[in-house]
Amino acid sequence: MFSRKTYAVPLPGGRVLELGSRCLVMGILNVTPDSFAHASPLRGPADAVAAALRMEADGADLIDIGGESTRPGAETVSADEELSRVLPVLRALHGRLDVPISIDTYKGDVARAAVAAGATIVNDVSGLRRDPALAGAVAESGAALILMHTRGRSKTMDAEAVYDNVIAEVTNELRDSVRSALEAGVPLECVIVDPGVGFAKLPSHSYGVLARLPDFAAALDRPVLVGPSRKSFLRDAVGGRPAPERDWGTAAAVTAAVLAGAHIVRVHAVAEMAQVVRVAEEIRRHRDMANR
């Protein structure tokens, strides 16, 4: 177990996201027809709104809404199509959620419209490598920015999973992403980083990232989000189970992330993983008490 630095991340509207006193739970709300991790997709905005409210009641500290699947091999969609999926949900949730909303997108136009509709965080799985306009849109909006590490696009990322030193290379490539954000005017205090387990990484790489998360966090000195939920790197360890049946494996990865100092974990099964996080936090707390 390792120490976890505290950060105050400013959000639009004067709100501040306090990170570090405990690990926060980010609930995943995919409003796509091809989500890899759900047995059946949400049927429309009403279903999505109900799911978001249920996540908040179950213990989510943040809700991450996505309108384009980013799983390996997924088809890309236009900004207009993505907006047609997420804007009705964002508008319907306005004033109904107390927790901050994140928009999971790499497109500048989508980010700009989503923040105008109530999102306060932009979660970019590309680390600013796909749409040059995204960083500027975030800077103008005042939203916080999550930068995830990946390589290539959904259909090519597996071929890019070649590393000599996965932690050093992920850290250096994300450092470039942070630099791009700063050059576009995004304040450093608004930036959160995500090592991207499961993206352009073999299972051994993803486990290596989790095992050495403190090194990654120390090198970048930014809050760290970890998103292991139901991903394919867990598949062999859980007997080849399909994505919707990987919550036990996810629980182990979430525990490891919390004990290693993650600030946020991004998960599908909010009620279950909120319990996992609370127990892992108790272990951390008693470790700290024993070391005083």
* DSSP code string of the chain: ------EEEE-GGG-EEEESSS-EEEEEEE-STT-TT-SS---SHHHHHHHHHHHHHHT-SEEEEESS--STTPPP--HHHHHHHHHHHHHHHTTT-SS-EEEE-S-HHHHHHHHHTT--EEEETTTTSS-THHHHHHHHHT-EEEEE---S-TTTGGGG---SSHHHHHHHHHHHHHHHHHHTT--GGGEEEE--TTSS--HHHHHHHHHTHHHHHHHH-S-BEE--TT-GGGTGGGTT--GGG-HHHHHHHHHHHHHTT-SEEEES-HHHHHHHHHHHHHHHHHHHHHT-
User: Domain 7-290 is classified in which CATH homologous superfamily?
Assistant: Dihydropteroate synthase-like (3.20.20.20)
Domain boundaries, the chain: 7-290
> For 249-276, what is each residue's pLDDT tens digit?
999 999 999 999 999 999 999 999 999 9
> For 159-190, what is each residue's pLDDT tens digit?
999 999 999 999 999 999 999 999 999 999 99
> For 281-290, what is each residue's pLDDT tens digit?
999 999 877 7
> For 134-147, what is each residue's pLDDT tens digit?
999 999 999 999 99
- Residue 288 is predicted with a pLDDT of 78
Asked if pLDDT for residue 244 goes beyond 60, the answer is: yes
Catalytic residue among 266, 278, 284, 287: 266
Task: For the chain, give the mean pLDDT.
Answer: 94
Percent of the chain with pLDDT over 90: 87
> For 189-226, what is each residue's pLDDT tens digit?
999 999 999 999 999 999 999 999 999 999 999 999 99
201 included as an active-site residue: no
pTM above 0.85, yes or no: yes
Q: Using 50, 70 and 90 to split pLDDT, how confident is the model at 247?
A: very high
153 included as an active-site residue: no
- Residue 44 is predicted with a pLDDT of 80
- Residue 35 is predicted with a pLDDT of 60
Catalytic residue among 112, 231, 246, 284: 231
